[in-house]
Amino acid sequence: MKLIVGLGNPGGKYAGHRHNAGFMAVDAIARRHGFGPWRRRFSGEVAEGRLTGEKALLLKPLTYMNESGRAVAQAARFFKLSAEDVIVLHDELDLPPGRMRVKTGGGHAGHNGLRSIISHIGPDFHRVRIGIGHPGDKALVHSFVLHDFSRQERELVEPLIEAIAAHAPLLAAGEFATFANKVHLEVGE
């Protein structure tokens, strides 16, 4: 079983924010692959389904970004999953909108959601980094991530989100390089 976590902040006022790219991605996976209904569990919302025969649980922590690790740890403990069974989809300032990178392990690079997850389960989980761009000034980052994508950014990010959803079975199968290649080919990166 794989635990696929989308990072974001709960509530309608945050729905289109750059910081909610992870929520957007797991919502797209759920729609595309016919996952069950979202229900509250593990301090979050979960949907169960299968990705090419592999059982998967999608999780959107409702703890707000800074406490995401609490929800991830609850679900991982319940299903007796190791960090290697966890895949986190999150916004990434260091990539332009419409770009994506896959990484295993590492630090948090200032991302509070990753910092929280690392403090609860360690650093050895997989990450799908969804580019949102950078405002150019570190002092502007907080405001930047808590605002909606511009129309031009959405035109780049939405096809990426759909490509991630289309190729999510490769994530569940642990075929990270193939997943990244197929997504990059689809979005023309």
Nearest to 76 by CA among 1, 184, 130: 1
> What are the catalytic residues?
19
In DSSP terms, 129 is beta-bridged to: 90, 101
